[in-house]
Amino acid sequence: PPPFTGVWMGDSKLCAIGVHCGNHITSHGLALNCCTDLSWFEHIVPCGLEGKGVTSLSHELGQHVAVSHVLEPFLESFQEVFDCTLVSPEEPG
């Protein structure tokens, strides 16, 4: 819900999106909660937003959703939406 960034299910954040700028460097981050242990969020104010919660795909769908099941379709959609090509770093050594 505006003005909060991310993907929300009601008052609970499913996907966090962040940007940090400093020293002429911009960093971007994204966290999609697939099968996250949500009990950890009971001890903090997630994203500094009082009265808001955190959820996961597993919680919302009522079944275990592993990162491995979500990664490929997520990356394909990301490339389509942002009209880009993602490259993986080469294996070391």
Domain range spanning residue 16? 7-66
Confidence check: pLDDT of 23 > 80: yes
Confidence check: pLDDT of 36 > 80: yes
CA distance linking residue 1 with residue 66, whole number of Å: 26
Check 15, 21, 34, 47 and give the catalytic one: 47
CA distance linking residue 40 with residue 68, whole number of Å: 22
Residue 11 lies in a domain: yes
Please give the tally of structural domains in the chain.
1
Confidence check: pLDDT of 1 > 80: no
- Cβ–Cβ < 8 Å for 14, 60: yes
Mean pLDDT score, 25-31: 90
Residue 80 lies in a domain: no
Give the per-residue pLDDT at 81.
93
Residue 74 lies in a domain: no
* Averaged confidence pLDDT in the chain: 90
Mean pLDDT score, 5-16: 90
Residue 24 lies in a domain: yes
CA distance linking residue 60 with residue 51, whole number of Å: 19
pTM: 0.78
Residue 31 lies in a domain: yes
- Other CB atoms within 10 Å distance of the CB of residue 15: 17
Residue 75 lies in a domain: no
Confidence check: pLDDT of 92 > 80: no
User: Active site includes 47?
Assistant: yes
Q: What is the distance in angstroms between the CA of the first residue and the CA of the last residue of the chain?
A: 45
